[in-house]
Chain A
Amino acid sequence: MNHIFKNIDKQLLGIYFLLVILGIFSIFSTTYDENYSSIFSLSKSYGKQIMWFGISSCIGIVILLLDKEFIKKSIPVFYAFTMLLLVLVLLIGTERNGAKAWFGVGSFGIQPAEFAKISVSLMVALFISNTNTILLRQQTRVWLSIIIFMPVFLILRQPDLGTVLVFLGFILVLYREGIIGNVLLYGLLLVIVGVVSLLIKDTITPFFGFLVHAHYIFIFTLIVVAILVTMGVNVTTYQRYRKNKYIRIILVTLAAIVLVPMMKYGFEKIPENHYQRVRIEIILGLKQDPRGVGYNSHQALSAIGSGKFLGKGYKNATLANDTYSQVPEQSTDFIFCTVAEEWGFLGGFILFSMYMVLILKIISIAERQRSTFNRVFAYSIASIFFIHFAINIGMVLGLAPIIGIPLPFFSYGGSSLLSFSIMIFLLLKFDSDRLESFR
């Protein structure tokens, strides 16, 4: 009993409490009303969030007290149960914001998709740790795909694109476990090349005395980079592995070079005013449409920009605030706007740093585990937090499309706070047991 609390990672617990409490204060600020100045009020969002924090803490303590083996044994049941809930919500759930994602009682509601993240993480960890991955690689991939894609398919039916994207995080886990190869790296590289080739303007530029199309300069740069990388391979890799690496470098470079004109040409093919094209152009900064498609992003960036370096001060937001409602969804998905407006760049940067510390801390916990189950689970949690952070902040900063996805611990929402808390407490539980299992 005592050993659980003794072995618990107090740093992670500390970051967790800090983020939740700061989150509650931020929600309090967005909905602040002078006539209703008590923070403990169940009729207000911040009051409910406090209540959910209480519930989360209780469930957290229960998790810490449970037997690890019991948890492990109940994983398949838990997984099956959440899948059942995901089916049920499609049948008898209530619709909010266009997604049939809720089981609701009055103003309180529960989103089963939030809990699917946990059950999939647990299920993936259990499956990988129980399988001889070297012998049955192909079969493993099929089973893992089923485990991950079943909830994805169900959530897509709601439809809730944001939560679906979170499951992309499992790519990182599978990559780390060696189940998928360097695809991740190469894929990322190609995404960057694709975006850059869209950003390059169709202009003719002088280049070493020649007048060249800007895209050729980009292709030239890619070749130069490839040659430099090849030279790096010569230095760092043993001779017998070199041939393999050369082939990969050549293939990736060729793919990148082909991608450049294809992206541009393919993009031109989309009709000028198609909303998808407009959306992409707005994200890339090629176009502005503050009244139409780009409204949310424009309002969010304006609120953030108005914070400047030091911010306007707590409760002093004049855009990202319920009174002014300049930013949509300001206590949920766009909560960062309030933080950035009130605390400025300084506050925003500190918040980013706290999330970085949280994610890196979880990764470091993952890497110190001796059991595959623990490591995979910890990586799953890290990936889920990371995807939430990247998509949510990317969205409010105008770097990613507008997709409804909460910022962990900050965004108002009972289900998401509860599910993030359960993740943290499960991790704390498994981590505190890691020394026990050696005895």
Chain B
Amino acid sequence: MPNQSFESRKIVILAIVISIGIIFSLRLLFVQVLSPKWNEESLKISETKRIIEPERGLIFDRNGKLLAANKTIYELRLTPSKIQEFDTTELCNLILITKDSLKTKLKELKRYRRLQQVLVKTIPEQNVAKFTSLMYKYPGFAMVEKSIRTYPGHAAAHLLGYVREVDGEIVKKKPYYRGGDRIGISGLEKFYEDDLRGSRGKNQFLRDAFGNLKQLTESDTAKSGNNLMSSIDLVLQKYGEQLMQNKIGCVVAIEPSTGEILSMVSAPSFDPNLLSGDTMSKNWNRLYRNDSLKPLFNRALLSRYSPGSIFKMVQGLSSWELGIIDKTTKIQCDKGLVGCHNHNPVQGLPDAIKVSCNPYFYETFKRMSTMNEGKDMHEKSRKGLAIWNEYVTSFGLGMNLNIDFPGYSIGNIPSPATYDKMYKNNMRWNFRTCNSLAIGQGEMLVTPYQMANLACIIANRGYFYFPHFIKSIKGSTLDNLYQSKQYTKIGSEKFELIADAMQQVVEGAGGTASRARIEGIELCGKTGTVENSRGKDHSVFIAFAPKHNPKIAIAVYIENAGFGGTWAAPVASLMIEKYLNDSISNPAKEKRIIDANLIP
């Protein structure tokens, strides 16, 4: 029996049905089109990225010998919730730990049952293959391949630097890096990080609900880092480290015709492999905290020393250029002015350099001030010191030499402002206040690489290239910076005479560096003996050879060793002979140096 009075109720039913349809359509529109949220969620649950780590670039020496390479090690990890009973004796033998330490380690790891954690950082190399074949007996364990840095030359620790895994701070500062990445922390590893690290590859997969990778959707191959050929000569470097053992100081050798650094020794040194692999932090602490000789400190680039008598060439050349002396100017050796050793009267500038006469250069320093116009000596001295500073810095001293290295000291060449500040603007200082600058003492501070660069300037008769460690790197040409000559303010014709004088220092009768003499090589050098308030004098020597068309310029600085000619000069000559002849003609000289312990 149809009940017509309720027919209008179909409107309500239709309204309910249609409104559900509309609500669902709007919701669908929101989920699929208007809001990006659910699409983002879908990517989160359905995509997995796998990073492919690039091979870090290798570092070679100038002759193609490997300085830094990569090695694969295997880390042993385990997930406590997944392990089953296993043969503990066998495992202990494989990873070379005691049962007790395995027990404590396992207990520690079991705090996070579902997390895969590191049990042993390095599976002993000899057991890797055996362990791989036995893995089936150890469910829940995993061998994870890792790449670490090795330094096959076992030398040049300070230059190469080291790499380590990034920490939170680095990740914050440099967004490229992610946990587990390695980064160069010092040395060339740091300076050329961008070239050496290469670029990461990435594989993107679609995965199922259980995390199984199902389909590769995107793939970027990793690009290995560029190999770097450095200017270092591994043989010379190792020889330098051997000569400098049990000494504090440094050796810097540069090829004058290019500015390439052939060797840079900072003593005491260490094996760079100490700062690689899982014992790194332990070794680093030992080298950093528990060694009073500060072996991590790179003296060749960071120490600031008084140059001593090797500065006399700069003082003499500047004075000559300024016209206040010429090559034949004779000045009396007035020991009342400053101490000097006994020598024959000086017959001009070359002779003054050869015998290293202190009063001679004091007088030239005085003339730099007195030659100027001025109402009193203070004013004349200010002008004189300003000119002096201009000439001295043109030799690269106290200047930034743009070395491709992440940290080096620039030194300090005083200017009038230095003394204004020291004397609090009391206008009383004059050249006498600072005339020890004339012989490389006083407030002047120079770094060893700048001393080697000074030897280069004289070897080149008036110019230098910015010293650098790079010879070539794949994919990029050598920076123009390292290919342009830097000239001093001195006319090049004046250098030949100075080179003659330096040859006399080594070969002439009464020269201060007779211990540097080498049969068959024309070696030019200059000794320095630097007074220092703390202990014995520092022993200094700069040199280059051969005299004509020089192949190597060198600076040797040995702390608290005494007279320059006694220790620094023979070290330099042995280095030069090794580099030029690849053999040593005087084994006794070599033995004397290697055996010497000059650590105070």
List A residues at the B interface (Cβ < 8 Å). 129, 132-134, 172, 175-178, 184-185, 188, 290, 298-299, 301-309, 318-319, 323-326, 340, 344-345, 348-349, 352-353, 355-356, 359-360, 363, 367, 370-372, 375, 386, 389-390, 393-394, 397-399
A318 touches B210 (CB 8 A): no
Question: By the criterion CB–CB under 8 Å, are A397 and B214 in contact?
Answer: no
Contact A323 B24 (CB under 8 A): no
| B3 closest partner in A (C-beta) | A178
The 9 A-B residue pairs whose C-beta atoms are closest, nearest first, are A305-B38, A306-B42, A302-B42, A178-B6, A345-B32, A302-B41, A324-B208, A305-B39, A356-B21
Within 8 A of A (CB), among B16-60: 16-18, 20-21, 23-25, 27-29, 31-33, 35, 37-46
From A184, A318, A319, B12 is in contact (CB under 8 Å) with A184
Give the interface size class of chain B: 35 or more
Beyond the given pairs A178-B5, A302-B44, A306-B43, 12 more chain A to chain B contacts, judged by CB atoms under 8 angstroms and listed by A's residue number, are A133-B3, A176-B6, A176-B10, A177-B6, A178-B3, A290-B41, A305-B35, A307-B32, A340-B32, A345-B28, A352-B21, A397-B28
Kindly state whether residue B2 has any CB partner on chain A within 8 Å: yes
Q: Which residue of A lies closest to B36 (CB)?
A: A305
Decide if B45 touches A308 in the complex (CB within 8 Å): no
**Which chain B residue shows the least CB distance to A359?**
B17
Q: B129 at the A/B interface (Cβ < 8 Å)?
A: no
- Contact of B494 with A by CB under 8 A: no
Question: Is B206 part of the contact surface with A, judged by Cβ < 8 Å?
Answer: yes
* Contact B38–A306 (Cβ < 8 Å): yes
Are B24 and A352 in touch, CB under 8 angstroms? Answer: yes
Q: Please, which residues of chain B bring their CB within 8 A of the CB of A324? A: 46, 206-209, 214
A397 touches B208 (CB 8 A): no
Provide the residues of chain B in CB contact with A363, threshold 8 Å: 10, 13-14, 17
Q: Measured between C-beta atoms, what is the minimum distance from A322 to chain B in Å?
A: 9
Say if the beta carbon of B478 comes within 8 Å of chain A: no
Cross-interface CB contact of A176 among B13, B21, B32, cutoff 8 Å:
B13
Contacts of A348 in B (CB 8 A): 28, 32
- Give the distance to chain A from B289, nearest Cβ to Cβ, in Å: 46
A349 pairs with B25, CB closer than 8 A: yes
Residues on A with C-beta less than 8 A from B282 are: none
Instruction: Tell me if B172 counts as interface (CB < 8 A to partner A).
Output: no
Q: Mark B440-470, 1 if CB is under 8 A from A, else 0.
A: 0000000000000000000000000000000
Task: Tell me the smallest distance from the CB of A364 to a CB of chain B, in Å.
Answer: 9
Instruction: Give the chain B neighbours of A305 by CB distance below 8 A.
Output: 31-32, 35, 37-42
Q: Is the interface of B mostly helix, strand, loop or mixed?
A: helix
Q: Report chain B residues within 8 Å CB of A307.
A: 32
Is B2 touching A372 in the complex (CB atoms < 8 A)? yes
Which of chain B's residues have a CB closer than 8 A to the CB of A389? 20
Q: Which residue of the partner chain, among B3, B31, B46, contacts A318 with CB atoms under 8 Å?
A: B46
Residues of chain B within 8 A (CB-CB) of A399 are 23-24, 27
CB neighbours of A309 from chain B (8 A): 32-33
Q: Is the CB of A326 within 8 A of B209?
A: yes
- Name the A residues within 8 Å of B39 (CB-CB): 305-306, 308
A404 to B217, CA, bound (A): 34
Contact check, B42 vs A319: say whether CB atoms are below 8 A apart. Answer: yes
Contact, CB under 8 Å: B45 / A326: yes
List the count of A-B residue pairs having beta carbons below 8 Å apart: 134
Q: Is B588 an interface residue (CB 8 A)?
A: no
* CA–CA, A306 and B39, complex, Å: 4
A301 with B31: CB separation less than 8 A? yes
A399 vs chain B, min Cβ distance (A): 6
21 A-B contact pairs sorted by A residue (CB < 8 Å): A129-B1, A303-B42, A305-B35, A305-B38, A305-B39, A305-B42, A306-B42, A308-B33, A318-B206, A319-B45, A324-B206, A325-B210, A348-B28, A353-B21, A356-B21, A360-B17, A363-B17, A372-B1, A375-B2, A394-B24, A399-B23
B12 — nearest CB in chain A belongs to which residue?
Answer: A185
Q: Does chain A have a CB within 8 A of B130?
A: no
Residues of chain B within 8 A (CB-CB) of A290 are 41
Query: Is B9 located at the chain interface by the 8 A CB criterion?
Result: yes
Task: With both chains docked as a complex, state the minimum distance between the C-beta of B463 and any C-beta of chain A, in angstroms.
Answer: 67
Name the residue on B nearest A306 (C-beta): B42
Closest residue of chain A to B20 (Cβ to Cβ) is A390
- In the bound complex, residues from chain B placing their C-beta under 8 Å from that of A393 are 24
Are B10's CB and A356's CB within 8 A?
no
Chain B residues near A134: list those with CB within 8 A. 3
Contact at B32–A304, with CB atoms within 8 Å? yes
| Separation of A164 and B20 alpha carbons in the complex (Å) | 20
**In the assembly, what is the distance between CA of A307 and CA of B45, in Å?**
14
Q: A177 → chain B, closest Cβ, in Å?
A: 7
Separation of A318 and B39 alpha carbons in the complex (Å): 12
Nearest B-chain residue to A367, judged by Cβ: B10
Which of B7, B20, B42, B215 neighbours the largest number of chain A CB atoms within 10 Å of its CB? B42
Instruction: Name A328's closest neighbour in chain B (CB-CB).
Output: B209
Q: Which residues of B contact A319 (CB under 8 A)?
A: 42, 45-46
CA distance A176 to B12 in the complex (A): 9
CA distance A336 to B16 in the complex (A): 22
B5 engages A302 (CB within 8 Å): no
Q: Are A340 and B28 in contact (CB under 8 A)?
A: yes
Separation of A298 and B209 alpha carbons in the complex (Å): 12
Contact with A along B184-225 (1 / 0, CB 8 A): 000000000000000000000011111000110000000000
Residue of B nearest to A130 (CB): B1
A298 neighbours in B (Cβ, 8 Å): 41
List chain A residues, Cβ under 8 A from B44. Answer: 302
List the B side residues contacting A370 at CB < 8 Å: 2
CB pair A304–B28 under 8 Å, yes or no, is: yes
Contacts of A132 in B (CB 8 A): 1
A178 contacts across to B, CB distance below 8 A: 3, 5-6, 9
A394 to B209, CA, bound (A): 23
How far, in angstroms, from A305 to B37 measured CA to CA in the complex?
A: 8
Q: Is the CB of B29 within 8 A of A345?
A: yes
B1 engages A301 (CB within 8 Å): no
What's the least CB distance linking A272 to chain B, in Å?
A: 25
| Shortest distance from the beta carbon of A101 to any chain B beta carbon, whole Å | 26
> In the complex the two chains form, is B38's CB within 8 Å of A301's CB?
yes
Contacts of B29 in A (CB 8 A): 345, 349
Instruction: State how many angstroms separate the Cβ of A393 from the closest Cβ of chain B.
Output: 5
Q: Min CB distance, A44 to chain B, in Å?
A: 19
| Chain A residues, CB < 8 A from B25 | 349, 352
Query: Which residues of B lie under 8 Å from residue A359 when comparing CB positions?
Result: 17
Tell me the smallest distance from the CB of B560 to a CB of chain A, in Å: 68
With A352-B25, A397-B24 as contacts: A302 and B12 at CB distance below 8 Å? no
- Cβ-defined contact, B3 with A326, below 8 A: no
Enumerate chain B residues within 8 angstroms of A175, measured Cβ to Cβ: 9, 12-13
Interface bits B419-432 vs A (CB < 8 Å: 1, else 0):
00000000000000
B 97-139 binary contact with A (CB < 8 Å = 1; else 0): 0000000000000000000000000000000000000000000
- Chain A residues with CB under 8 A of B208: 323-326
| Residue in B3, B14, B25 with the greatest tally of chain A CB atoms within 10 Å | B3
* Min CB–CB distance B17 → chain A (angstroms): 6
A176 surroundings in chain B (CB, below 8 A): 6, 9-10, 13
- A172-B31 contact, Cβ under 8 Å, with A299-B45, A324-B46: no
One of B3, B33, B38, B46 near A177 (C-beta < 8 A):
B3
Q: Which residues of A contact B209 (CB under 8 A)?
A: 299, 324-326
A92 CB to nearest B CB, Å:
35
Q: Are A306 and B13 touching (Cβ within 8 A)?
A: no
Nearest to B21 among chain A residues (CB) is: A356
A397-B31 in contact given A324-B207, A352-B25 (Cβ < 8 Å): yes
How far is A298 from B31 in the complex, measured between Cα atoms in Å?
12
A398 to B41, CA, bound (A): 14
Q: How far is the CB of A292 from chain B (nearest CB, A)?
A: 15
A308 to chain B, nearest CB (A): 6
Chain A residue contacts of B1, Cβ below 8 A: 129, 132-133, 372
B27 nearest in chain A by CB position: A397
| Smallest CB gap from B6: residue in A | A178
Inter-chain contacts of A185 with B (CB < 8 A): 12
Say whether B214 contacts A323, CB under 8 Å.
Answer: yes
